[in-house]
DNA sequence: ATCTCCGTTTAGAATTATTCCAAACAAAAG
DNA sequence: CTTTTGTTTGGAATAATTCTAAACGGAGAT
């Protein structure tokens, strides 16, 4: 059942420990965008240090991305199976995932502008609930 | 001479204090993307607390943007006169500004996906120096 | 199965970027 | 010039994240 998660970890060169299986499965099955603390609250058997360690590893191998810059000042984490971007409500700090945008032209432009091989991206849009100005 | 900077502050509803004039002028005339500490090193007569306070105000009125998520764990700041995006060399942490991309289709897509009025964006691409695999 | 190796986990201590505080100050308006 | 109101400041406080060193446990080899 968590063979899928186990395989995912091993494909990315990470040893499949119990904690990593639990944490990655948690991220894959929750639509939320939790902080380390929030994860720890739901998975109290995994120490906070391990949650930080594990998240760091998952970010390294691109299974997870960090969402920074929210009003609460904490890092939020997001399982990143397929590429998407984030829309953040600056009033409520709600984070919405969206993928109705093709990033390839942007990556092309970035390569052209910098000469670098582009390896990834973070796109975050900020918005507010319309006031219905009428 | 700093009438331009003074006007810029006032247009954005900020009182034009000596410290704000100095700090904003500093950001406008430096291509670098400094941290609060780096600014404080160059402008030691402005207290560190004021540098943080002032940067916060400048970010509020969209004259400055925060660049987070670099390897050093610190926030970097960037004068944001005209919209652009960032390309970050993940090996060297070098930050490159680029503007050869029209964000409007992305903003449209985000509005469509979220129903929010889009007020801003942060786009960051990550890349590495080509190894010349040849 | 058992052994061994080496990466992982852990509790708690340490770090440090950033925020908070309350008193002194200085822009801008009247 | 006086007042008002927002700003600046040094230092203390906060808290998210990282570090440390000892115990542990996957997983390949025997």
Q: Give A72-124 pLDDT, tens digit per residue.
A: 999 999 999 889 999 999 989 999 999 999 999 999 999 999 999 999 999 99
Using the C1' atom of nucleotide C6, identify the protein residue whose alpha carbon is closest.
A15
Based on its alpha-carbon atoms, the radius of gyration of chain A, rounded to whole angstroms, reads 17
For residue B12, count CB atoms less than 10 angstroms from its CB and return exposed for 0-12, middle for 13-18, buried for 19 or more: middle
pLDDT digits (tens, 9 = 90+) for A45-64: 999 999 999 999 999 999 99
pLDDT at residue B76 in the model: 97
Judged by CB atoms closer than 8 Å, whether chains meet at B110 and A85 is answered as: yes
The helix/strand/coil state of B88 is strand
* Residue in chain A nearest B91 by alpha carbon: A116
Q: Is the pLDDT of residue B1 over 80?
A: no
pLDDT at residue B58 in the model: 97
Average confidence score pLDDT of chain B: 94
C-alpha closest to that of B27 among B55, B61, B57: B55
Query: Could you tell me how far CA A78 lies from the centroid of its own chain?
Result: 2
Q: What is the DSSP string of B57-78?
A: HHHHTTSEEEE---TT---EEE
Judged by CB atoms closer than 8 Å, whether chains meet at A114 and B68 is answered as: no
Distance from CA of A1 to the nearest CA of B (A): 33
The helix/strand/coil state of A46 is coil
Among A1-5, A104-108, B62-66, B111-115, which is the least confidently predicted range?
A1-5
pTM comes to: 0.91
Among A53-57, B40-44, B89-93, B103-107, which is the least confidently predicted range?
B89-93
pLDDT at residue B132 in the model: 66
- For A25, B18, B23, B34, B94, the CA distances from B38, given in Å and listed in that order, are 41, 19, 12, 6, 15
Judged by CB atoms closer than 8 Å, whether chains meet at B98 and A113 is answered as: yes
H or E segment to which residue B49 belongs: helix B48-60
Check if the beta carbon of residue A32 is closer than 8 Å to that of residue A20. Answer: no
The answer to whether B87 faces chain A, any CB pair under 8 Å, is yes
Nucleotide at minimal C1' distance from the B35 CA:
C17
Q: Is the pLDDT of residue B21 over 80?
A: yes
Q: In the structure encoding, which two tokens stand for residue A5, read together? A: 């998660």
pLDDT at residue B131 in the model: 77
Based on its alpha-carbon atoms, the radius of gyration of chain B, rounded to whole angstroms, reads 17
pLDDT digits (tens, 9 = 90+) for B48-100: 999 999 999 999 999 999 999 898 999 999 999 889 999 999 989 999 999 99
Cβ neighbours of A37 (radius 10 Å): 10
Judged by CB atoms closer than 8 Å, whether chains meet at A100 and B113 is answered as: yes
**Which among A101, A124, A126 has the least Cβ separation from residue B109?**
A101
- Residue that is written with structure tokens 């990033």 in the block: A103
Q: Is the pLDDT of residue A1 over 70?
A: no
- Distance CA(B113)–CA(B43), nearest Å, equals 44
The answer to whether A85 faces chain B, any CB pair under 8 Å, is yes
Confidence of residue A134 (pLDDT cuts 50, 70, 90): very low
- Distance CA(B64)–CA(B27), nearest Å, equals 9
The answer to whether B73 faces chain A, any CB pair under 8 Å, is no
- Distance CA(B79)–CA(B32), nearest Å, equals 10
pLDDT at residue A112 in the model: 97
What is the tally of helices (H) and strands (E) in chain A? 5, 5
Q: Is the pLDDT of residue B118 over 80?
A: yes
């Amino acid at each position: 059942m968590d063979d899928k998660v186990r395989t995912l970890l091993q494909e990315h060169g990470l040893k499949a420990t119990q904690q990593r299986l639990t944490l990655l499965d948690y991220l894959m099955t929750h639509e939320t965008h939790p902080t380390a603390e929030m994860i720890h609250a739901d998975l109290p058997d995994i120490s906070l240090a391990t949650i930080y360690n594990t998240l760091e590893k998952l970010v390294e191998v691109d299974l997870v991305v960090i969402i920074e810059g929210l009003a609460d000042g904490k890092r939020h984490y997001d399982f990143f199976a397929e590429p998407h971007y984030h829309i953040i409500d600056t009033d409520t700090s709600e984070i919405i995932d969206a993928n109705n945008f093709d990033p390839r032209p942007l990556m092309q432009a970035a390569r052209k502008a910098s000469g670098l091989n582009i390896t990834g991206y973070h796109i975050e849009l900020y918005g507010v609930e319309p006031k219905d100005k009428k």
